[in-house]
Structure 1
Amino acid sequence: MNQANELSVLLGELIKRHRAQRMDQQDFATRVGCSIKTLSRLEQGVPVNTETLFTALALVGQLDDFIELADQKVRAAAHLPERKRGAGDKGLDNDF
């Protein structure tokens, strides 16, 4: 299992545990704005769109922690050089 899949599984489990303490899947899915099937997939670690994921994290009170972690990572990476364009990196040509 790659790291992205592991993260999806961990986030799904986190959301499921917090959600189960407060409400059933139907109520939570309604609040997230998705179907029960999508919520079930999310809780099983199947990737879903980021808006659904972030909304679910916000509803269980975990989004602020993830924003803080992302902010820390961005600040830690501030010293890294930005990508420089090479001479041959002119984009796509139009000869389709």
Structure 2
Amino acid sequence: MQAVAELHELLGELVKRHRAQRMSQRELAARIGCSQRTLTRIEQGHPVNSETLFTALAVLGQLDAFIELADEKVRAAGHLPERKRSQLHDRGLDNDF
């Protein structure tokens, strides 16, 4: 899970750098509809709600670049087989124990 922590840190740094050039934490927090504490957590690389993170990236004009990168990864994985459905699900069985 180290890669997930590193991604949070990278995205937090991206938000922090772009935000610092344009506005205060208080202003960005108001624009994305979260508390200043939540924005501080984003900038420090802590996990937060993905909608809040993506909204921050959108307000800062960075979401399109993030989507483009993710789209490239999806296209690059196009040669991989799609995920198969569980056989239990196909037979109408639940997975309760």
1:61 CA drift (Å): 1.2
Aligned partner of 1:77 in structure 2 is 77
- Aligned pairs for 1:17-36 (under 5 A) are 17-36=17-36
1:84 CA drift (Å): 3.0
Aligned partner of 2:41 in structure 1 is 41
**Structure 1 stretches lacking a partner, 5+ long:** none
Give the fraction of aligned pairs with identical amino acids, expressed as a percent: 67
Within 2, Cα distance between the matches of 1:47 and 1:78? 29
TM-score with structure 1 setting the length: 0.87
Q: Establish whether residue 68 from structure 1 lines up as the match of residue 55 from structure 2.
A: no
Q: Which has the higher contact order (CA 8 A, sep 6+)?
A: 1
1:55 CA drift (Å): 0.7
**Cα displacement string for residues 8-33 of structure 1 (whole angstroms, at most 9, x for unaligned residues):** 01110110111011111111100011
Q: Establish whether residue 90 from structure 1 lines up as the match of residue 71 from structure 2.
A: no
1:60 CA drift (Å): 1.3
CA RMSD of aligned residues (A): 1.7
The one-letter amino acid of 1:78's match is G
**Cα displacement string for residues 24-74 of structure 1 (whole angstroms, at most 9, x for unaligned residues):** 111110001100110000000001111111111111111111110111111
Q: Secondary structure at the match of 2:79?
A: coil
Q: How many residues align?
A: 93
